[in-house]
Amino acid sequence: MKFSRRRRRRAATGQWVRLILCAGALVTLAACSATVAVTPASSAAHAVPAQSAVVKGVSTVQRDLTVDGTKRSYLAVRASSKRTGLPLLVVLHGRGITARQESARTGFLAYAQRGLANVVYPMGIGQSWNAEHGCCGLAVKEGAHDTAFVTSVVGDATRYFGADSRRVYLVGYSNGGRLAFTEVCEHPGLFAAMATYGSVPSVTCPGRKPISALISSGTDDPIVRSVHSSPSSAAAVESAVTQWRTQSQCTASNTTGTGPLKLTTWTGCAGGTEVAQGIYQGLTHYWPVATKTSAPYTTPVGPQAAAATVMWNFLSRHTL
């Protein structure tokens, strides 16, 4: 009986994963109608107009870099205020999702529109990231040096926008979340804070410099549960957060709730950092958004519980 239940659960998870990837392929094909000019890559970055979600008051360009001899690109969204010294928000898309789709569905463009931050969306190879430890997709097969790419994006975008290098924030979803954990392990002094949804660290990072982190997931996320061999996705997140806050020597905690979100924050951590855990009751691998939208892979949860709102509120209070 137990074996039968496990087999059915694995089959259901496999069907869920295939559904996401197949749906992602369909959306990607539809998105191909948006024409984006491409410039030759060189050691210096080039910028050309790019199409993203339509947001008034902001300008979006595609910037090209060469990393380890390979042309790489990212979308750069300048804040409406066009001021220098603003924070830089780096958003890493999930597997099977383009940077444009991620910009349209995650909700972070609102902070560029309000003049609060410049936002960039790096583009993974084959809509995937090499987060190492066997993950994931074409990026792993081609041996993409994605941590070097993200680091190069931060440097180029900081110069391009005149952004505040003390307020660089990293966000990752799913495969992008796994890359985010690898990135801060290899380059801990680059980011003031990070936040992820639908992902937990693949391995520990001993000796890591303390960094503020918000790790969140839905309770019914089969990807997080199966990838990390946990009894539930919530258990996987709780285990990761326990390791993170123990390593950061956090002392005090506070828990709040809004809609399906239970948010626990630990303070008094090493280096003045914080660690937070976001558990969305009943949610799956879909991104929590404020209201119902036509964007793919989203679940409406209300404006206060929306992932972009919760993440920005956490990230923006941290500075190197």
How confident is the model over 149-170, as pLDDT tens digits? 999 999 999 999 999 999 999 9
**pLDDT band at residue 208, thresholds of 50, 70 and 90?**
confident
Q: For position 140, which CATH number holds?
A: 3.40.50.1820
Buried b (16+ CB within 10 A) or exposed e, 106-138: bbbbbbbbebbbbbbbbbbbebbbbbbeebbbe
pLDDT of residue 45: 53
Question: Residue 37 above 80 pLDDT?
Answer: no
Highest mean pLDDT among 202-206, 228-232, 261-265: 261-265
Q: Which amino acid is at 243?
A: Q
Question: Residue 197 above 90 pLDDT?
Answer: yes
pLDDT of residue 214: 98
**pLDDT band at residue 188, thresholds of 50, 70 and 90?**
confident
Mean pLDDT over 48-58 rounds to 56
Residue 229, Cβ neighbours under 10 Å: how many? 7
Q: Which residues pair with 135 in a beta bridge?
A: 132
Is the residue at 244 inside a domain?
yes
Do 74 and 103 contact (CB within 8 A), yes or no?
no
Instruction: Say which residue the tokens 């410049």 belong to.
Output: 118
Is the residue at 320 inside a domain?
no
| Average pLDDT score over the chain | 84
pLDDT of residue 231: 77
Is the residue at 281 inside a domain?
yes
Q: Which residues pair with 74 in a beta bridge?
A: 63, 122
Among the listed residues 77, 70, 79, 72, the one whose alpha carbon sits nearest the alpha carbon of residue 91: 77
Q: Which amino acid is at 148?
A: A
Question: Residue 232 above 90 pLDDT?
Answer: no
* DSSP per-residue string spanning 55-119: -TT-EEEEEEEEETTEEEEEEEEE-TT--SS--EEEEEPPTT--HHHHHHHSSTHHHHHTTS-EE
**pLDDT band at residue 43, thresholds of 50, 70 and 90?**
very low
Count of domains observed in the chain = 1
Is the residue at 92 inside a domain?
yes
Tokens at 125, concatenated = 């190879």
Q: What angle do CA 34, 36, 40 make, to 5 degrees?
A: 160
Question: Residue 13 above 90 pLDDT?
Answer: no
Percentage of the chain lying above the pLDDT 70 cut: 82
pLDDT of residue 205: 81
Is the residue at 24 inside a domain?
yes
Per residue in 273-291, pLDDT (tens digit) is 999 999 999 999 999 999 9
Question: Residue 294 above 50 pLDDT?
Answer: yes
Mean pLDDT over 29-39 rounds to 31
Helices within the chain (DSSP H only): 2-31, 99-105, 109-113, 137-141, 146-161, 175-186, 222-227, 233-247, 307-315
Is the residue at 81 inside a domain?
yes
Show the domain range for 34. 2-315
pLDDT of residue 228: 67
Helix axes 175-186, 146-161, angle to 10 degrees: 80
Per residue in 79-97, pLDDT (tens digit) is 999 999 999 999 999 999 9
Instruction: Say which residue the tokens 């990607």 belong to.
Output: 28
Cα dihedral: 305, 176, 246, 239 (round 10): 80
* DSSP per-residue string spanning 113-139: HTTS-EEEEE--BTTB---BTTB-HHH
Is the residue at 86 inside a domain?
yes
Task: For residues 304 and 307, give the distance between their C-alpha atoms in angstroms, rounded to a whole number.
Answer: 9
170: three-class secondary structure by DSSP = strand
Is the residue at 28 inside a domain?
yes
